[in-house]
Homo-oligomer: A and B are copies of this chain.
């Protein structure tokens, strides 16, 4: 796939995470600036952490005005279509799940371009996907979703592995990316709907 398709995938992920961040911030009664800050950090935080780990400076999410515009649009839509969005049972987590798939795919793609290291690229896919949500949750002082009893980072991991099959040429590029996105987001959404959990280690104490 061309790089413009990947840029589009990155922007969709940004948009979805920005909505998830904005809804979480509205829920905490933050002011409009605070909502923008939380939305921006949720949307761009994973990518900024990935670019820092790649040694790619300045991080893309900070130097490119497109991300600001996408986040501003998401904040605007979240504020004005709250009623509609809040009909979803867990709106923050719904948009978070969409972003998860897009960012797992894009994160692997960018890291593999830079390093051609399979393990590192998979890790960067997962970091891109879960990093923004972790920062969002730490800032609003919740225990990060990634650490609670739900399928989350594991969905990102499956998406990242599908994407790496495309990078290595084991799958057609477009097939790999779209299946990474769809499988990852679907697993996460289905786990929310049917309350799938991974087993916890039985605590003895």
Contacts and interface: CB of A to CB of B under 8 A. Distances in A.
Contacts of A48: 53
Given A55-B57, A57-B54, A204 B38 contact: no
Contact of A32 (B28, B86, B198): B198
How big is the A interface, by class?
35 or more
A65 interface: yes
A49 to B, nearest CB: 10
A52 interface: yes
A143 B144 contact: no
A54 B65 contact: no
A63 B115 contact: yes
Contact of A148 (B30, B55, B59): B30
Q: Assembly of this chain: how many copies?
A: 3
A201 B58 contact: no
B139 A144 contact: yes
Nearest to A85: B204
A149 interface: yes
Contact of A200 (B31, B68, B139): B31
Contacts of A86: 204-205
Interface string A135-166: 00011111110111111111000000000000
Interface of A: 25-35, 37-38, 48, 52-55, 57-59, 62-63, 65, 68, 79, 82-83, 86, 115, 117, 119-120, 123-124, 134, 138-144, 146-154, 197-201, 203-205
The 9 closest A-B pairs by CB, nearest first: A55-B57, A31-B198, A34-B147, A79-B201, A63-B120, A33-B154, A82-B204, A31-B149, A31-B200
